[in-house]
């Protein structure tokens, strides 16, 4: 889809099967399961949704998913699917990893930063995108390396340290225009340095990659939030601001973990209209994958 001079491609960088309750916090299951039916083990399907963007000769990757480093046991525990989703999507777009100029994730949890690194055939860790600037909020980087006890399992040093060691880490603070029209805006809430990634050719023409601020379509409701959010009130505040702006200016939203039409437009009543130009392509990929499993 063309958004001003940004060429946007929606990608699904794999996914997993989380316990449904982890995504809905205090919302009772009788309510959430009407919108996200759980299987007999209480698991739902979550995708790692991102975008690949071409803009004035540059390639930008936003969100990298779980990646390919999980061992078999862990992958089975998580119900991980399509670990090659990120690189497969890039291949279909004709983009080689070394051509990527900028990588940005909403935050550094394992399900967003896992694809930043991978194992070389000899077992060494290497950067997936060896030439790219990797843009991270200062608060997120510091917290990821020194997490609180509750967050420890959500950050993996093998996803992060190679980026710094390669000298490709670009730490930013606050709202920053990384490239003309590419803006990161801190929200905090889910994690201390969680940020929105905005592709903004003009104030009235924007796409926001929401990460875990709005992970699934049911999270468009202000009070429906993930159990993993560290600061729930902050999430509600930032989500209210985003949804108002998105409805007023008809921003395209890309929801961080939705499997069913993750890109679309929200209206002032909280209604959701999927964007067919983006979703149809991904739908085909997802259905093809499901059959192949
Ligand atoms: Zn997430």
Residues sharing a CB contact under 8 Å with residue 106, sequence separation 6 or more, in sequence order = 63, 112, 194, 195, 196, 197, 209, 210, 211, 212, 213, 256
CA distance 180 to 202: 10
Q: Of 157, 148, 141, whose CA–CA distance to 105 is shortest?
A: 141
In sign, the C-alpha dihedral spanning 46, 284, 205, 109 is positive
Q: What's the pLDDT at 260? A: 94
With H, G, I as helix, E, B as strand and everything else as coil, classify residue 119: strand
User: What does the alpha-carbon distance between residue 199 and residue 67 come to, in Å, rounded to a whole number?
Assistant: 24
Q: How far is the CA of 201 from the centre of ligand 1 (A)?
A: 26
The model's pLDDT over 245-282, given as tens digits with 9 standing for 90+, comes to 999 999 999 999 999 999 999 999 989 999 998 998 88
Section 162-183 average pLDDT: 97
pLDDT for position 282: 84
Mean pLDDT (the chain) is 95
The rounded Å distance from CA 111 to ligand 1 centre is 5
Q: How many Å lie between the centroid of ligand 1 and the Cα of residue 256?
A: 7
Distance 203 CA to ligand 1 centre (A): 27
Q: Give the bridge partners for 72, in sequence order.
A: none
Position 285 scores a pLDDT of 73
- CA of residue 254 to ligand 1 center, whole Å: 13
C-alpha of residue 211 to centroid of ligand 1, in Å: 6
CA of 288 from ligand 1 middle (Å) equals: 24
- C-alpha 170 – ligand 1 centre gap (Å): 21
Indicate the CATH number for domain 2-292: 3.60.15.10
For the cut 90, the answer to whether the pLDDT of residue 287 exceeds it is: no
Using the mean position of ligand 1's atoms as its centre, give its distance from the Cα of residue 156 in Å.
14
To 5 degrees, how large is the angle CA 167–CA 114–CA 157?
Answer: 60
Q: Give residue limits of the domains in the chain.
A: 2-292
Find the 209 Cα to ligand 1 centroid distance in Å: 12
- Ligand 1 centre to CA of 75 (Å) is 16
Whether pLDDT at 288 is above 70: no
pLDDT of residue 289: 58
**Which tens digit of pLDDT belongs to each residue from 94-110?**
999 999 999 999 999 99
Ligand 1 centroid–CA 113 distance in Å is 9
C-alpha of residue 35 to centroid of ligand 1, in Å: 19
The rounded Å distance from CA 257 to ligand 1 centre is: 7
Length of the chain: 293
Write down the pTM of the prediction.
Answer: 0.95
Q: How far is the CA of 7 from the centre of ligand 1 (A)?
A: 24
> Can you point out the beta strands (E) in 32-175?
46-55, 58-62, 102-104, 117-119, 125-127, 133-137, 169-172
Instruction: Give pLDDT tens digits for 29-66.
Output: 999 999 999 999 999 999 999 999 999 999 999 999 99
- Of the candidates 193, 196, 191, 188, the one whose C-alpha atom is nearest the C-alpha of residue 243 is 196
Ligand 1 centre distance from Cα of residue 166 (Å): 25
Tens of pLDDT, residues 192-236: 999 999 999 987 899 999 999 999 999 999 999 999 999 999 999
């Amino acid at each position: 889809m063309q958004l001003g001079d940004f060429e946007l491609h929606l990608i699904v960088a794999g996914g997993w099967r989380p316990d449904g309750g982890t995504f809905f916090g205090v919302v009772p299951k009788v309510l959430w399961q009407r919108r996200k039916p759980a299987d007999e083990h209480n698991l739902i399907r979550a995708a790692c949704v991102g975008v690949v963007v071409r803009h004035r000769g540059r390639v930008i990757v936003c969100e990298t998913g779980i990646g390919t480093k999980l061992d078999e046991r862990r992958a089975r525990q998580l119900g991980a699917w399509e670990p090659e989703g990120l690189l497969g999507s890039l291949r279909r777009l004709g983009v080689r990893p070394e051509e990527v100029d900028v990588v940005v994730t909403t935050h550094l949890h394992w399900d967003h930063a896992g694809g930043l690194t991978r194992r070389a055939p000899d077992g060494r860790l290497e950067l997936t995108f060896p030439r790219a600037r990797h843009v991270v909020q200062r608060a997120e980087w510091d917290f990821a390396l020194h997490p609180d006890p509750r967050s420890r399992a959500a950050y993996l040093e093998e996803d992060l340290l190679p980026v710094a060691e390669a000298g490709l880490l670009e730490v930013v603070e606050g709202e920053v225009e990384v490239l003309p029209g590419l803006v990161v805006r801190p929200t905090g809430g889910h994690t201390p340095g969680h940020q929105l990634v905005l592709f903004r050719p003009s104030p009235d023409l924007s796409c926001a990659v929401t990460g875990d601020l709005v992970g699934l379509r049911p999270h468009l409701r202000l009070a429906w939030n993930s159990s993993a959010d560290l600061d729930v009130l902050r999430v509600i505040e930032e989500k209210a601001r985003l949804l108002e702006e998105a409805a007023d200016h008809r921003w395209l939203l890309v929801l961080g973990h939705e499997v069913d039409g993750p890109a679309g437009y929200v209206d002032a009543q909280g209604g959701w209209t999927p964007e067919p130009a983006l979703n149809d392509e991904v739908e085909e990929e997802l259905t093809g994958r499901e059959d192949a499993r």
